[in-house]
Amino acid sequence: MLSEALSKESAPRVREAILTALARIGSPESAAVTLPYLRSDDAAQRTAVLDALRAMPAAAATHLPGLLSDADADVRLLACEIARGLSTEDASRLLGDMIERELNSNVCAAAIEVLAETGDATSLPVLARCSDRFPDDPFLQFAINVARDRIGSR
């Protein structure tokens, strides 16, 4: 019922209420209802969906491996934000796996930003390999250095 309402509703406040209801349900199924809207051209809609997914971290986490390997780089980038709510161990593992295969430096940078806050020592070799893969990207090199420093100081 909420899935159908979300697909037909155009009023932002009503859509937000539907997303809030889905977040309160907090099941993997309710999280799945929101996932197609991560592809929306409407930035406000993507942000609202991201907020709903962050409000149901356990339910969103069940979909995270698929989101982190999605064909769309924008979806992978947004998925990094969802990983921010995971445990250190889970975030390090999932984001590390994604970074190892990621070809888009912007997506790597988003994952590395999250790892700088949530990563653990297991992330350090992943960061080193990422640095080796993108030696000519100054922003990414900066992000990797910041993440290494933060992780190393914990």
Domain CATH for 23: 1.25.10
Give 141's pLDDT tier (boundaries 50, 70, 90).
very high
**Whether 43 and 98 share a structural domain:** no
pLDDT surpassing 80 at residue 154: no
- The secondary structure of the chain, three-state, reads CHHHHHHHCCCHHHHHHHHHHHHHHCCHHHHHHHHHHHHCCCHHHHHHHHHHHHCCHHHHHCCHHHHHCCCCHHHHHHHHHHHCCCCHHHHHHHHHHHHHHCCCHHHHHHHHHHHHHHCCCCHHHHHHHHHHHCCCCHHHHHHHHHHHHHHHCC
Query: Cβ contacts of residue 55 below 8 Å, gap of 6+?
Result: 20, 23, 26
pLDDT of 77-128, one tens digit each?
A: 999 999 998 999 999 999 999 999 999 999 999 999 999 999 999 999 999 9
pLDDT surpassing 90 at residue 1: no
- What's the predicted TM-score (pTM) here? 0.91
**Two tokens, residue 134:** 């993108």
**Averaged pLDDT score across all residues of the chain:** 96
Residue-number span of the structural domain to which 27 is assigned: 1-62
Predicted pLDDT at 18:
97
**Whether 26 and 70 share a structural domain:** no
Predicted pLDDT at 153:
79
**Whether 57 and 73 share a structural domain:** no
Predicted pLDDT at 152:
87
From residue 77, give the alpha-carbon distance in Å to each of 82, 104, 154: 9, 10, 25
**Two tokens, residue 38:** 């991560």
Count the domains in the chain.
Answer: 2
